[in-house]
Amino acid sequence: MRNRSTRSLMLLVAMLAAAHTFAQEHVDPVDRALHGAGKANTVAGVVGIILAGLFIWLFSQDRRLTRLERRNENEG
């Protein structure tokens, strides 16, 4: 379990680092339009909520699968 947690944390850090480097590039017209209309923060918030929900769902599925594997080992 600890190995999975470490890998997940390293993946999250790598994704955040990649997002930070993309944030420093030139501003395209779509971004300018969204930011000018005040929608950029809304889009970022919605994407963040969706990603957080996805990570929570994946974590819960992993826990369920681990419980089933343990139950299967105990029965067999």
Mean pLDDT of 31-42: 76
Spatial distance between the Cα atoms of 46 and 22, rounded to a whole number of angstroms: 19
Spatial distance between the Cα atoms of 32 and 46, rounded to a whole number of angstroms: 18
Residue pair 66/1 in contact (Cβ under 8 Å)? The answer is yes
CA distances from 3 to 12, 17, 21, 31, 72 (A): 14, 21, 27, 38, 21
Residues 6+ apart with CB under 8 A from 34: 40, 43
Residue 30: predicted pLDDT = 72
pTM of the predicted model over 0.75: no
Q: What digits encode the pLDDT tens for the residues 38-64?
A: 787 888 899 999 999 999 999 999 999
Spatial distance between the Cα atoms of 29 and 51, rounded to a whole number of angstroms: 25
Average pLDDT across the chain, whole number:
81
